[in-house]
Amino acid sequence: MTTMKFPKRYLVVILTFLSTSVCYIERVGFSIAYTVAADAAGVNQSSKGTILSTFYYGYACSQVPGGWAAQKIGGRKVLLLSFVLWSLTCALVPLDPNRVFVMVIARLLVGVAQGFIFPSIHTVLAQWVPPHERSRSVSLTTSGMYLGAAAGMLFLPSLVKYRGPQSVFLAEAALGAMWSLLWFKYASDPPRSEHPKATAAGFGESMLPIKGSQKLKLENGGSSVRTAKIPWKKILLSLPVWAIVVNNFTFHYALYVLMNWLPTYFELGLQLSLQEMGSSKMLPYLNMFIFSNIGGVVADHLVTKRILSVTRTRKLLNTIGFIVASLALMAIPIFRTSGGAVLCSSVALGFLALGRAGFAVNHMDIAPRYAGIVMGVSNTAGTLAGIIGVDLTGKLLEAARTVDSSLSSAESWRVVFFIPGLLCIFSSVVFLLFSTGERIFD
């Protein structure tokens, strides 16, 4: 059978890549469909910010429980359950900006369900992927987010135009259901025997706990795994963990502000129609997809060829990514053309994605056995950034309305882009000072 030549871990990585793509089609799709529906209903910017940020409240609540559930039940099962839940919510809820309570509950539910996704993925990848393939595997998986966002920006405005905002929800639910069927059919837990030499690095071990003195029976008759007691205190007091947390916060502050408010910036700040912008509006996310994978390949090359240590590799890519991104973010309001805005946002998001080969892979370096837990902790911070950044941007723009009623001046938008720019500088310094590539949790 020819399929045996294709390693199972590659199939698992491809499926996790597709899962993040579908998730981000959903997120971008909601902001596009809701913006159109809310503007048609005369909803103000501050109220839009509240609804757009509701998702992140649910998302924040389920990050750490998601890591815990993935650890206890297994990332594979938790990931499937998450997809089924948010897809059903999208399929069943009507998009009506005037029914605020229904919108809030629906976005909370989708947020809670999607909050289990990344901790589950990190648990699955830490089990399946050996250390020398981690950077590019995580980078490929996370780059799915950006390809999904790019596809959403390219195709969904036209879907809204011709079939109405509700059609976006139904399309997203169908994609979620199709992915769930693929995952159910092809994903499995890793056989430990497949990579016996890599178990010392925490790879290929079961991450499920063992009750009492019970031994884990393995297919190859191998030895037992230690009881997986989660070292919560050590994780929460660890400076390298906090270095990841701070950078995750900044990354997502910049990403979520751009993802949720770039459509408004193009429409109101630059007086451009998203439909008329053609394919250029997807370039920022396409750039993220490309640079995320460049970062992963470069990082693995530097580590495997012993050009730099894991610690120096993570710090180098993180610093380059965040510093270039900070300059590009602060330059966005300077350019008053669609080309300038697309260029700056593309550079900003591209280099932020490059930086993920620093902080985002670092979960697995320092805690391969608890990658889902550490990811849950740091992604909670990233989600708080979504709540704060998306909501704060709405309030800043509503305040700017008192000076410029059309929000078309550069001054109205300057603070919106300066905040994530300054955060990038601060978090890159934190990562340089406190991060490590060494394994610190057994």
Mean pLDDT by 10 residues, the chain (442 residues): 67 95 92 87 82 88 88 90 94 87 91 92 86 83 89 89 91 95 88 47 42 36 49 90 96 90 83 74 87 92 91 96 97 88 93 92 86 85 88 88 80 91 97 92 73
Within its chain, how far is the Cα of 217 from the centroid? 35
Domain extent listing, the chain: 2-191+231-434
Matching residue, tokens 């990332």: 75
What DSSP string describes 123-186?
HHHHHHS-GGGHHHHHHHHHHHHHHHHHHHHHHHHHHHHHH-THHHHHHHHHHHHHHHHHHHHH
pLDDT of residue 283: 87
C-alpha dihedral over 124, 125, 131, 134, to 10 degrees? -170
Classified by CATH at the fold level, domain 2-191+231-434 comes out as Growth Hormone; Chain: A; (1.20.1250)
Longest dimension (CA), the chain: 73
- Kindly give the residue spans of alpha helices, DSSP state H, lying in 199-309: 232-236, 239-264, 283-304
Task: From residue 164, give the alpha-carbon distance in Å to each of 37, 38, 148, 192.
Answer: 9, 13, 20, 49
* Phi and psi based region of residue 74 (left: phi greater than 0; alpha: psi -120 to 50; beta: remaining): left
